[in-house]
Amino acid sequence: MASLPPPSRKALAHRGSASGQAIFASLARAGSALLALATAATLGLLVLAVLRGPEVLPGLASLRYNPGTGELGLGGLALSTSASLLLGGLLATPLALFGALWLAELAPPSVQRPLLALLDGAVAVPSVVVGLWVAVVGGAALERLAGPGGSGLLSAALVVAAMSAPTIARVAYAVFTAVPDALREGAIALGATRWEAVRVAVLPVATRGLVGAVVLGLARALGETIAISMVVGGRPSAAPTLRGASGTLGSVLVDEYLDAFRASHLATLSAAALVLLALGAATHLGSRALVRGLTRRPA
Amino acid sequence: MTHTSGTRRARTDRLVSWAGALAFAGLLAPVLGLVLWSLLEALALGGFELRLFAALVGSLELCALALLFGLPTGLLAGLHVAELAGPRVARAVRMIADVLAGAPPLLFGVLVHSTVASFTGASSLLPSALALGLFIAPAMARATEELLSLVPEGLREAALGLGLAPWRVVLFVCLPSVRSSLGGVALALGARALGEAAPLLFTAGAVRGLGAAVFGDSPSLALGLYASMSSADPAEQGKAWAAAFVLLVTVVAASALGRSVGERRA
């Protein structure tokens, strides 16, 4: 902390600081209270909607979902959600982790900063743009590959991969840079090559954080609703029977929430939202626990 | 590694380096390809028009308003957790922030749609900005808290030792020492909010094509893109690609700027 500015004169004038402390404390408390209020309101809203249509609860685990005929089971949607997350994760994880490893450990120092800036840009790519691209370009290619209508799950997986890979790489990069240099130096001093140093000294320490990175990246894709809806939902070519197989818990929310007027339909959608909320909270809390203490900067 | 060059281990090392570079290129290629693709597609379909600029202005306006709601809320909550709250309250607020950060952004739109929007009437800017503010606030709270935990204890003690009131220490000593990082986080969050369309489906009223009046129904590039892409009309699709291009360039530029701001030493 060599170049810190001296405290300003305003800071040193401490007249009336007792009331200042009180004002500061109540403002800060208000900030936390607002967050708590928003959480409570969201939960309350969803739970209330579920309670207004309790008759859907027994059939909620059923695999069939077709609001037109009153079949309101979320099981199939949950299955296709997990399948798209799994497939997308399998696509994204090796690329993202290996790319982050290269950037943090093996890349020439001169390219690290500009490439990191580009990676930050990739993290921020809007989901609507990803959805547009996968729907128009990827969808056409997949349709040719898998036949018409068979591309729903694959397109969803592609969206998941595209949405999660930059986030996984960004968090993984932060995990790699948090590994103490002494470990690498020790291995290199013993005659290891750069890659051997990474394999022997860095990876064992970083594993927990890397798992956290993958979980955090997939959590982002889990909350993704609109891009998946763009590629699988509301597409006129998708037959109604295939909808259940290719929509996800998130995409039905985008497609149907605004048009859901029946209490039972709204209750089902709210239940789907609650499931997503619980999964999102669990993954966030879990990955925090995994990454905690490893990264120096918030990623 | 000159002494090992030519051996099998050195070859493995080089191989892994090249493969890693390739993996990283594979990570970034979709983004760069996307920028180029959307530009070409938009040019081919004649998607660039003056109203796109109006949508961009509307998007930026919305984003600024959302930051105005979200940043102070998040900052204050982060300050509360880091500096004032006891361990139990801190853990509770941290968990709340995590729950909000893990929620599908669409839910914020649902929340605003079914609470606030009935009071604000047909105006779409305010509820949309509120929903996006809810998207920004939890991430800002976590970032503030984590950055404040990095402020060296000695700095805090020195300031307290000079007789500063605790709140002045936080506001005029601790916060300024992390202000560039906070600025970087704020810019990155702004970039994320700029591209977020899902909550706006519920708050922006009827979805029309791109470039409705700034205070009208569709103030957002991201939402306009969503509306235009579902059309079969090539002109509308051209607009979608043009919107995608403008959105991509703005968002990537903003987050790159956020990185350079965040790395400047305070």
pLDDT tens for chain A, 299 residues long, are 456 666 666 655 555 557 888 888 999 999 999 999 999 999 999 998 888 877 777 777 777 777 767 677 787 778 888 888 898 999 999 999 999 999 999 999 899 988 998 898 898 898 888 888 888 777 677 666 665 555 577 888 888 999 999 999 999 999 999 888 899 999 999 988 889 999 999 999 899 889 999 998 998 888 878 888 777 754 433 333 444 445 778 888 887 887 777 888 888 888 889 988 988 888 888 887 787 766 544 43
Q: What are phi and psi of A28, to 5 degrees?
A: -60, -40
What b/e sequence results for B224-255 when a residue is b if at least 16 CB atoms lie within 10 Å of its CB, and e otherwise? Answer: bbbbbbeeeeeebbbbbbbbbbbbbebbbebb
Ranges of each domain in chain A? 21-52, 54-291
Listed by number, the residues of chain B in 164-183 with a beta carbon closer than 8 Å to a beta carbon of chain A are 164-168, 170-173, 176-177, 181
Taking chain A, what is the end-to-end CA distance rounded to the nearest angstrom?
22
Output the pTM of the full model: 0.85
Mutate to test the interface with B, among A45, A81, A167, A226 (most CBs of B within 10 A): A226
Which one-letter DSSP state was computed for residue A135?
A: I
Question: pLDDT at position A33, please?
Answer: 94
Query: Of A24, A52, A85, A270, which to mutate for an interface test with B (greatest number of B Cβ within 10 Å)?
Result: A24
What residues of chain B lie within 8 A of the CB of A129, using their CB?
34, 38, 195, 225, 244, 247-248
Q: Which of residues 178-207 of A touch B (CB under 8 A)?
A: 193-196
Span A28-74, pLDDT tens digits: 999 999 999 999 999 999 998 888 877 777 777 777 777 767 677 78
B111/A41 Cβ within 8 A: yes
Largest CA distance in chain B: 74
Half-sphere exposure of B100 (CA within 13 A, CB side): 34
* Contact yes or no for B230 and A253 at CB 8 A: no
Q: Are A229 and A256 in contact (CB under 8 A)?
A: no
| pLDDT score recorded for residue A253 | 83
Q: In 10 A of CB A84, how many CB atoms?
A: 29
ipTM score: 0.85
- Look at A12 and B9 and tell me if their CB atoms are within 8 Å: no
State how far the Cα of B78 lies from the Cα of A182, in Å rounded to an integer. Answer: 33
A30 touches chain B (CB under 8 A): yes
Token code pair at residue B239? 């607009």
Distinct helix (H) and strand (E) counts, chain A: 14, 2
Question: What are the C-alpha distances in Å from A169 to residues A214, A299, B2, B18?
Answer: 8, 10, 31, 17
CB pairs below 8 Å between A and B: how many? 320
C-alpha to C-alpha distance for B49 and B79, rounded to whole angstroms = 45
Tokens linked to B228 = 């235009």
Nearest Cβ partner for A101 among B20, B84, B99: B20
How is residue A262 written in tokens? Answer: 């029946």
* Cβ burial, residue A254 (10 Å; 0-12/13-18/19+): buried
Indicate the average pLDDT of chain A: 81
Q: Structurally, what CATH architecture does the domain formed by B35-263 represent?
A: Orthogonal Bundle (1.10)
**pLDDT at residue B113, rounded to an integer:** 82
The answer to whether the Cβ–Cβ distance between A280 and B162 falls below 8 Å is no
Nearest to B1 among A11, A132, A193 (CB): A193
Place of tokens 């059923």: A62
The beta-carbon neighbor of B107 closest among A32, A42, A298 is A42
Written as tens digits, the pLDDT of chain B (266 aa) is: 445 556 888 899 999 999 999 999 999 988 888 889 889 888 888 777 777 887 888 888 889 999 999 999 999 999 999 988 888 999 999 999 988 988 888 899 888 888 876 666 555 778 888 899 999 999 999 999 989 988 888 998 999 999 888 888 988 999 998 888 899 899 989 998 998 888 888 877 544 444 444 444 556 788 888 877 777 677 788 888 888 999 999 998 888 888 888 776 54
- The residue extents of the domains of chain B are 35-263
Instruction: Tell me if chain A has a CB within 8 Å of the CB of B106.
Output: yes
**Could you tell me which residues come within 8 angstroms of residue B143 by beta carbon, excluding any fewer than 6 positions away?**
A298, B74, B78, B182, B185
pLDDT at B221: 84
Q: Looking up tokens 């968990």, which residue turns up?
A: B95
User: Rounded to whole angstroms, how far apart are CA atoms B134 and B144?
Assistant: 16
Closest CA relative to residue B83, chosen from B184, B183, B178, B181: B178
Distance between CA atoms of residues A118 and A250, nearest Å: 28
CA–CA separation, B83 and A131 (whole Å): 41
Per-residue model confidence (pLDDT) at position A98: 95
Name chain A contacts of B252, Cβ cutoff 8 Å.
Answer: 118, 121-122, 124-125
DSSP 8-state symbol, A56: G
Q: Measure the CA–CA gap between A15 and B57, rounded to whole angstroms.
A: 44
Residue B56, min C-alpha distance to chain A (Å): 14
User: What residue in A sits closest to B266 (Cα-Cα)?
Assistant: A4
Alpha helical stretches, state H, chain B: 8-45, 50-79, 87-102, 106-114, 117-120, 125-148, 153-161, 166-168, 175-177, 179-194, 200-203, 221-229, 234-263
Which of 117-136 (A) contact B at CB < 8 A? 117-133, 135-136
Which CATH number is correct for A54-291, 3.20.20.150, 3.40.630.30, 1.10.3720.10, 1.10.645.10?
1.10.3720.10
Q: Which of A21, A124, A224 sits opposite B188 (nearest CB)?
A: A124
Partner-chain contact A1 B155, CB within 8 Å: yes
